[in-house]
Amino acid sequence: MIQFTNVTKRYASGQEALSNVSFDIATGDMAFLTGHSGAGKSTLLKLIACIERPTSGQVVVNGRNLAHIKRAQVPALRRQIGMIFQDHKLIAERTVFDNVALPLIIAGLHNAVETARRVRAALDKVGLLGKEKQLPVMLSSGEQQRVGIARAVVNKPALLLADEPTGNLDPDLAAEVMGLFEQFNQVGVTVLIVSHNLGLISRFQHRILNLEKGCLLSHAPLIHEAPPCA
Ligand code: ADP
């Protein structure tokens, strides 16, 4: 699903955010990405979603080499990817229903009955059926994050990318949200989660990719991959 081969990303400022990073994540796998602030975690996610392009090396997502993807093809790539953020990025003045429906509208689904069916199915999966008419501010932080997850899965993406999805949650809610990601993974969705919370992620039996100053240091369990940079 995700394959990085000798990927380096240097920003226009000269900052090298990723240095010769190689790894792959198979379809249906779940993995965590950890590392200190500034290690390059968000940059790695942005390369997968084609928000940034690598300076050198190759990124392949769901069989597509992103070096060859044209700007007009990027929205189709993004529809295969659900993204979840620490601050969930919900639209405050829109209802839960409208927030979750947004990716469907952007994708061009204009059938109200089908939209409602899919939104309710996504809200059901995160345990929030019945909250669809509420505004995000009326929900707890854990519920807001679950709305963000419903929005990310409403299009049935093959891949979920989450950037510190539990960063603002207390330990019980964080474990609950991680459990939701596991449920999506168990039905075949590939999941990559950025997290600082080593205590939490080590409780799961998933691979941990560790970035330090733009270099991929280690992960477990081992799979085929190029050696990390020195
Ligand atoms: P992390 O998500 O691990 O905190 P980032 O990927 O955000 O790390 O950043 C990695 C490095 O790249 C940092 O030194 C950061 O300052 C730099 N960086 C990130 N985005 C940009 C950008 N748009 N322009 C210049 N430098 C950037």
Each residue of 104-161: pLDDT tens digit? 998 899 899 999 999 999 999 999 999 999 999 999 999 999 999 999 999 999 999 9
Residues 179 and 72 reside in one and the same domain: yes
User: Whole-prediction pTM value?
Assistant: 0.91
pLDDT of residue 88: 85
Which of these three, 156, 171, 196, is where a domain ends? 156
Query: How far, in Å, is the centroid of ligand 1 from the Cα of 147?
Result: 27
Hey, what are 17's tokens?
Answer: 């955010």
The whole-angstrom separation of Cα 157 and Cα 147 is 16
Task: Report angle CA 177, 214, 13 to the nearest 5 degrees.
Answer: 110
Read out DSSP for 134-155? S-GGGS-HHHHHHHHHHHHHTT
The whole-angstrom separation of Cα 18 and Cα 7 is 7
Burial class (CB in 10 A: 0-12, 13-18, 19+), 203: exposed
Query: Atom 13 in ligand 1: which residue has the minimum CA distance?
Result: 38
Q: Which domain holds residue 32?
A: 1-80+158-230
Query: How far, in Å, is the centroid of ligand 1 from the Cα of 122?
Result: 32
Of 100, 137, 103, 136, nearest to 119 (Cα)?
A: 100
Q: For residue 200, what are the CA distances in angstroms to 107, 130, 173, 197?
A: 35, 30, 11, 5
Q: Give the atom of ligand 1 at the shortest distance from the alpha carbon of 9.
A: 12
Query: Atom 15 in ligand 1: which residue has the minimum CA distance?
Result: 38
Residues 55 and 163 reside in one and the same domain: yes
Which of these three, 129, 156, 183, is where a domain ends? 156
pLDDT of residue 218: 64
Residues 176 and 124 reside in one and the same domain: no
Query: How far, in Å, is the centroid of ligand 1 from the Cα of 230?
Result: 20
Tell me if 78 sits within 8 A of 86, measured CB to CB.
no
Query: How far, in Å, is the centroid of ligand 1 from the Cα of 159?
Result: 23
Hey, what are 69's tokens?
Answer: 């993807």
47 lines ligand 1 (CB under 6 A): no
Which of these three, 136, 156, 176, is where a domain ends? 156
The whole-angstrom separation of Cα 141 and Cα 30 is 24
The whole-angstrom separation of Cα 162 and Cα 168 is 13
Query: Atom 22 in ligand 1: which residue has the minimum CA distance?
Result: 11
pLDDT of residue 68: 86
155 lines ligand 1 (CB under 6 A): no
Residues 64 and 170 reside in one and the same domain: yes
Query: How far, in Å, is the centroid of ligand 1 from the Cα of 164?
Result: 15
What residues of the chain score a pLDDT lower than 50? 221-227, 230
pLDDT of residue 49: 95
81-85 vs 159-163, strand pairing mode:
parallel
Polymer length of the chain: 230
How many domains does one find in the chain?
2
Q: Give the atom of ligand 1 at the shortest distance from the alpha carbon of 52.
A: 23
Residue 9, domain CATH: 3.40.50.300
pLDDT of residue 225: 43
